[in-house]
Structure 1
Amino acid sequence: MNRSDIIKRISELYPKLSRKEVEAIVKELFATMASSIATGKRIEIRGFGCFSLKHRAAGKVRNPRHGVAIDSGERHVVYFRAGKELRERVDVFSR
């Protein structure tokens, strides 16, 4: 599912909202989430999961195809941890 699928689904669920309005809402939601994560804030959506930043230290990484080692600088990466309800729903479908 991508952003356009989300917009389409919300438009179907709420026919009183125009597609442009739904698109603006979804766009603003993702922009707010991205700016919050970029400033180091943690986002928690109950039942779904948490988004946060993790620090990755500098080190060596290796290209497995060519075996060449390269220095990798330190950086921050987005980390997602699934909530209890999401984990349980995924467990049901994976059996």
Structure 2
Amino acid sequence: MIKSELVQAVAARNPHLYHRDVENIVNAVLDEITDALSQGTRVELRGFGAFSVKNRPPRSGRNPRTGEPVFVEEKWVPFFKTGKELRERLNPDDKD
């Protein structure tokens, strides 16, 4: 699902809202998550999951084309951990 499909799905479930308002809401939520992560803050959506930022330390890598060693600088990467409710919906217990 891409963002425009998410906007359409939310708009379909809420016919009393204008499509542009739904689009603004989705953009606002995603912007707030992005802003919080850029400040190093963890974002938790109960039942869905938690977004955080992890540090990848500098390391020595290899250029895949030439095999030549390359220095890879330290970087911060987004990380998502699923919530319990989402995991349970994706993997229902077979109690047959």
Is the structural similarity TM-score above 0.5? yes
Q: How much has 1:65 moved relative to structure 2?
A: 4.9
The one-character-per-residue Cα deviations of 1:39-91 (angstroms, maximum 9, x if unpaired) are: 00000011111000111100012244542321000111101111111112222
Q: CA RMSD in A?
A: 1.2
Q: Relative to structure 1, is the Cα distance of residues 90 and 63 closer, same or farther in structure 2, using a 3 angstrom cutoff?
A: farther
Listed as ranges, the matches of 1:1-95 within 5 Å are: 1-92=1-92
Q: Where does the alignment leave 5 or more consecutive residues of structure 2 unmatched?
A: none
Aligned identity (percent) is 37
Q: Where does the alignment leave 5 or more consecutive residues of structure 1 unmatched?
A: none
**TM-score, normalised by the number of residues in structure 1:** 0.89
Distance 1:23 1:69 in 2: 45
Residue identity in the other structure for 2:73: G
Q: Relative to structure 1, is the Cα distance of residues 24 and 73 closer, same or farther in structure 2, using a 3 angstrom cutoff?
A: same
